[in-house]
């Protein structure tokens, strides 16, 4: 049995904004019933580009429903630009935290928001992303994003945040490869130490003095 906060249980038992906005300006869908979690988000925007209404439909666990409910509450009154800044960490924090094995529910919320905003802006969904986890429909780009935003370092953590690798396990090696690539790319090459002209002159002066001393020591007395 998972240990949920009071806020999670409140949003689960009394979810806000369930349903669908009529003639939505923003619309996003992520996941699938076959994968165990599916989420649909719709929102309405006024002439000032502020979100006036947001609703969701969800098929999933208590965390998935609570995260979607909390997200719709967070969106109301925000401009689209401000809404775009919401991360999965913000969603989880608004609920007082989530069990680590359920963090993927907050990631699902961030993903559906991104797709809804892309729809609002008229950007077509990119279906060319490479699929890494066939069991749960998780792409390489989604894994990379979760790694960078949440500082994940293990396959287990990736599974907790995205569900990738939580099925047959055949994608574990590929997930590890993505982890290694992201971590290596994050390592900045060490910058060479800068040697100032002053330091060079000091070295030259010291070397010259040593030569003069040696020469003086070889002169006949």
Q: For the chain, give me the number of helices (H) and strands (E)?
A: 9, 5
DSSP label at residue 164? T
Q: Nearest CA to 146 among 129, 130, 122, 163?
A: 163
- Two tokens, residue 192: 């060479």
Q: Which residues contact 137 (CB under 8 A, 6 or more apart)?
A: 31, 32, 35, 131
* CATH fold label, 126-213: Arc Repressor Mutant, subunit A (1.10.10)
1-124 adopts what CATH topology? Sufe protein. Chain: A (3.90.1010)
CA separation for the pair 40, 20 (Å, rounded): 8
Q: Rounded CA gap, 17 and 186, in Å? A: 39
Domain spans in the chain, listed from the N-terminal domain onward: 1-124, 126-213
Catalytic residues: 35, 105
Tens of pLDDT, residue by residue, the chain (221 residues):
678 999 999 999 999 999 999 999 999 999 876 666 789 999 999 999 999 999 999 988 899 999 999 999 999 999 999 999 999 999 999 999 999 999 999 999 999 999 999 999 998 666 567 899 988 889 999 999 999 999 999 999 999 999 999 989 999 999 999 999 988 887 765 555 554 555 555 555 665 565 555 555 554 54
Which residue's entry shows tokens 């993903």? 111
């Amino acid at each position: 049995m998972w240990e949920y906060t009071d806020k999670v249980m409140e949003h689960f038992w009394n979810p806000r904004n369930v349903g669908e906005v009529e003639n939505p300006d923003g619309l996003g869908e992520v996941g699938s019933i076959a994968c165990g979690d599916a989420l649909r988000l719709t929102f309405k925007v006024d002439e000032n580009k502020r979100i006036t209404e947001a609703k969701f439909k969800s098929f999933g666990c208590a965390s998935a429903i609570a995260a979607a409910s909390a997200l719709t509450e967070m969106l109301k009154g925000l401009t689209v630009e401000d809404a775009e800044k919401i991360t999965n960490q913000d969603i989880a924090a608004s609920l007082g935290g989530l069990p680590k094995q359920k963090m993927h529910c907050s990631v699902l919320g961030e993903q559906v928001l991104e797709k809804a905003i892309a729809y609002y802006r008229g950007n077509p969904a990119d279906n060319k992303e490479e699929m890494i986890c066939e069991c749960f429909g998780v792409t390489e780009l989604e894994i990379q994003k979760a790694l960078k935003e949440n500082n994940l370092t293990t396959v287990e953590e990736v599974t907790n945040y995205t569900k990738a690798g939580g099925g047959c396990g055949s994608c574990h090696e590929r997930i590890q490869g993505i982890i290694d690539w992201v971590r290596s790319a994050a390592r900045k090459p060490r910058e060479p130490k800068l040697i100032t002209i002053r330091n060079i002159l000091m070295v030259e002066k010291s070397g010259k003095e040593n030569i003069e001393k040696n020469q003086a020591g070889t002169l006949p007395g």
